[in-house]
Amino acid sequence: MVRVKPIKVLILFIAILLSAVVFISISSEAAQAVTFPIPSLKIGVEPANPDNPEHVAIVLEIIALLTILGLAPSILILMTPFTRIIVVFHFLRQAIGTQTSPPNQVIVGLALFMTFFIMRPVGQEIYDKALNPYLENRITYKEAFHEAQIPIRNYLLVNTREADIAMFVKGAKVSKPENRDDVSLLILIPAYVISELKTGFIIGFVLYVPFLVIDMVVASVLLAMGMMMLPPVMISMPFKLMLFVLVDGWNLLIGSMMKSFGITF
Q: Concatenate the DSSP letters of all residues of 90-122 into one string.
A: HHHHHHHT-SSSS-HHHHHHHHHHHHHHHTHHH
Question: How many CB atoms within 10 Å of residue 205?
Answer: 12
Using one digit for the tens of pLDDT, what is the confidence trace for 243-260?
Answer: 888 888 888 888 888 888
Tell me how far the alpha carbon of residue 185 is from its chain's centroid: 21
Above 50 in pLDDT, residue 92?
A: yes
CA distance linking residue 58 with residue 41, whole number of Å = 21
The amino acid sitting at 223 is L
pLDDT of residue 150: 83
Contact indicator for 193, 83 with CB cutoff of 8 Å: yes
Q: Are 222 and 230 in contact (CB under 8 A)?
A: yes
Amino acid, single-letter form, for residue 74: S
Q: Read off the pLDDT band of 31 (50, 70, 90).
A: very low
pLDDT category, 48, cuts 50, 70, 90? low
Rounded CA-CA distance 111/253 in Å is 12
Q: Per-residue pLDDT averaged across 30-47, rounded? A: 54
Q: Which long-range contacts (CB under 8 A, 24 or more apart) does 122-129 make?
A: 122/151, 122/152, 122/155, 125/151, 126/151, 126/152
State how far the Cα of 200 lies from the Cα of 194, in Å rounded to an integer.
10
8 Å CB contact between 134 and 162: no
Residue 14 — very low, low, confident or very high, per pLDDT cuts 50/70/90?
Answer: low
C-alpha–C-alpha distance, residues 175 and 23, integer Å: 84
pLDDT above 50: residue 96:
yes
In which band, very low, low, confident or very high, does the pLDDT at 45 lie, cut at 50, 70 and 90?
low
pLDDT tens column, 103-129 = 888 888 888 888 888 888 888 888 888
